[in-house]
Structure 1
Amino acid sequence: MESVNKLVKFESQVAGHDNILCLTTNDLMVFKPSSQQEREFYEASQQHEEFMDWIPECYGTLRSSTENEKELLDKGQDVAPVLSDNITDIPTDQLANLDDILFLCVCVCHLCLENILHGFTRPCIMDIKLGYKIYEDTADEAKRNKMIKNAQGTTIESLGLRISGMKIFDSVERHYTSYTKQYGRERTKDNFLDGLLSYFYPTYNLNNESNNNKWILEHFIDTVSDIQGFVEEHAELQLVGCSLLLVYEGDASAAQAAWKRMLEEDRQDDANIDKPVNDNDGVSGGADDAADADDDADAIQKDMEETGPKLCDIRLIDFGRSRWQPGRTEQEQSFIKALDNLMGLLDQVIEQSP
């Protein structure tokens, strides 16, 4: 089928098993192979609205085809992909053509996730593995020993953190530099900070007025602090083997445009706060309610399709070993400590920045 050729490898993946896919028709979503446990984690997360702000939005899942459906695909016959109804339906206008994702139906079950890089021109990406504890309580002894051995000598032992991968755009030389998992494994407690400095300051130009890295760093620290507070208050949330994905705009012109846009939005918000309240505001009924609902839907759709520019983003990702456990009464303190370590290191980046 010709449409299958539109499904390609997601080139911006910096860590993991290099098996995330995307469509050539748009960059709004990525398709990630997933376990049942990860799918259940995303489904359960919907019950916690605040937590949803820190993970990619999940639009649904695609299940594997039956043997009969695979035979039909091999013969070039049309087969409608089956979407899971246990998570949010995928917006149909974001798929361009459902035939584009038929190929996924003959693979393992995939999560259809928000592409965090959507809206960036030259995204600078860092994946940081979180937590001293890297295996689940249910893991057998052989698996535990294997994972412990893999973490030996890395900053997982000393900091509860490890750089899993980086991709940085040099706005002066105009090229990308990639850092693999091996780079992260070679970091030590003493030089981990150097890796962060390389990520946030790949080049330094005194005349670069678009350098907003201090604000970005402070935003990242505030977000990590908020995540830490939520985790401390929700003992039922067990995060194991997850990562933080950090992204900021590496293109100087695009970053400046995003910065100006943020300032303008702040000015508009301030103006709306000072605006007198109309006595009729918020009072509607009948057809007006329907019109308001349509307007809300249009606004949501516009936000989803908006192309940016974005200055930065930070999300928790990779929940194959994480779960929500109702009845769990104590939080893993070593995970809290790992977040503390990360915030301390980001503070040092600010102090040592050019």
Structure 2
Amino acid sequence: MKVAQAGGHPDLVSIDSAKPHQLIKQTTKNELEFYRSIVNQLEYKRLSTDLKPWSDWRPNFYGSLDDQTDNEASIVLENLTYQRPTPKTELFSHPNVIDIKLGQRLYDDHATPEKQERMNKAALETTSAQWGVRLTGAQIWDNSKGIYLNIPKSFGKSVKPDGSDLQNSFNKLFPISDSNQHQEELAYSTGSLSSEILKNIIDQSIIPQIIKIQTYLSSFKWRIYGASLLIVFEADQDLLLAATSHSDQQIFQDLASVKVIDFAHVQLADSPDPGLLKGIQTTLDLFHQLSLQLSLQLASVQLDTQSSS
């Protein structure tokens, strides 16, 4: 079964049709070791301040399959885009999926000199080196056409390394359907969500989750290379209108999922990973700025409405 995915290697991920809430990922023994051992060492070191480890920052791990080699393994993980039943609706029906590569260094200590040189060049030629992020890819649901728009890796690689167009490029991953286009920094598409719904999802779900992840990982003493922040949120306009027609604003908190993924290159260290934290902060700044621009758009639309009435 096909996985709703942005970035990454879709040929290495599959879903067992009998267990659609799980996916099977072909990866390295290093990632299997992360889930079996390293992550426990990292999380349990926080027990002096936390009553119990918090694991919602990453996919749930369900074990591994027997088809392993010396360097490769097949692991069973939570399917982050699975359609979840909730009391009020079913999520996700048509999720938008955004993959943001985190970190300023893109290789681990075991990389060959040739790979180190290649990865350093890739970081310097993109926004990774300076900003700790690269827009890896996205799947955007078009409500009008009933299809997904796929944004490839090449999109993120085309953003200027100094980040001068990073915000505008980031905004293209979050288009809005408003007919009155007041903010030229925003992206507009008739098949997208309204600015009001998108802002509520960002403010009440995505940003709080990123802040919690940032706080939690700031004490991890590790180095992690090649990881991504995977952002998944419901994009079915009809479903969202039905779900949010109630006065209960709590529903917006459940409309998105934010997780760190891809742990094939992780090692314990004596301090937090500055490149990872830089990337998370940059992502948070991008969302805060997008939220501000959406607020300005909503205010302009309200003025239009008052003027025409």
Q: Distance in 2 between matches of 1:182 and 1:209?
A: 27
Give the secondary structure class of the aligned counterpart of 2:155. Answer: helix
Structure 2 matches for 1:244-323, cutoff 5 A? 244-259=229-244, 263=248, 311-323=255-267
Higher gyration radius (CA) = 1
Poorly superposed stretches of 4+, deviation over 3 Å: 205-211, 256-262
Checking the alignment, whether the CA contact within 8 Å between 1:238 and 1:322 is kept in structure 2 is yes
Residues 1:40 and 2:12 aligned together: no
CA distance in 1 between counterparts of 2:125 and 2:250 reads: 46
Deviations 1:3-28 (A, max 9, x none): xxxxx4x3422212222111234421
Q: Percent identity?
A: 26
- Deviation, 1:338, is 2.0
Seen in structure 2, the aligned counterparts of structure 1 residues 141 and 231 have a Cα distance that, compared at 3 Å, is same
Normalized against structure 2, the TM-score is what?
0.75
**What is the rounded CA distance, in whole Å, between the counterparts of 2:146 and 2:196 in structure 1?**
16
Distance 1:121 1:144, change over 3 A: same
Quick one: which of 336, 347, 350 aligns to 2:277? 336
Structure 1 residue 110: deviation in Å? Answer: 1.0
Distance 1:116 1:50 in 2: 20
The residue number in structure 1 matching 2:187 is none
| TM-score between both structures, scaled by the size of structure 1 | 0.66
C-alpha root-mean-square deviation of aligned residues, in Å? 2.8
Q: How does 1:7-22 map to 2 (within 5 A)?
A: 8=1, 10-18=2-10, 19-22=12-15
The equivalent of 2:220 in structure 1 is 234
CA contact (8 A) 1:258 1:311 kept: no
| Structure 2, unaligned runs of 5 or more | 44-51, 84-91, 181-189, 298-309
In the alignment, which of 45, 59, 62 is matched to residue 59 of structure 1? 62
Q: Secondary structure at the match of 2:201?
A: helix
Query: What is the CA-CA distance between 1:162 and the residue it aligns to?
Result: 0.5
Cross-structure match for 1:69: none
2-structure distance, mates of 1:337, 1:251: 32
1:351 matched to 2:292? The reply is: yes
Deviation of 1:42 after TM superposition, in Å, equals 1.2
Question: Which structure carries more strand by proportion?
Answer: 2
| Aligned-partner SS, 2:173 | helix
Unpaired runs of 5+ residues, structure 1, are 1-7, 67-107, 267-308
1:204 and 2:184 aligned: no
Count of paired positions: 260
Q: Kindly report which structure 2 residues correspond to 1:118-197, keeping only aligned pairs within 5 A, or say none.
A: 118-119=82-83, 120-188=92-160, 189-197=163-171
From 72, 78, 92, the equivalent of 1:114 is 78
- 1:167-225: CA deviation from partner (whole Å, max 9, x where unpaired): 10122343321100011111121222223222222433689779422232223222222
Q: Residue 304 of structure 1 corresponds to which residue in structure 2?
A: none
Q: Distance in 2 between matches of 1:317 and 1:262?
A: 34
Deviation of the 1:345 alpha carbon:
1.0
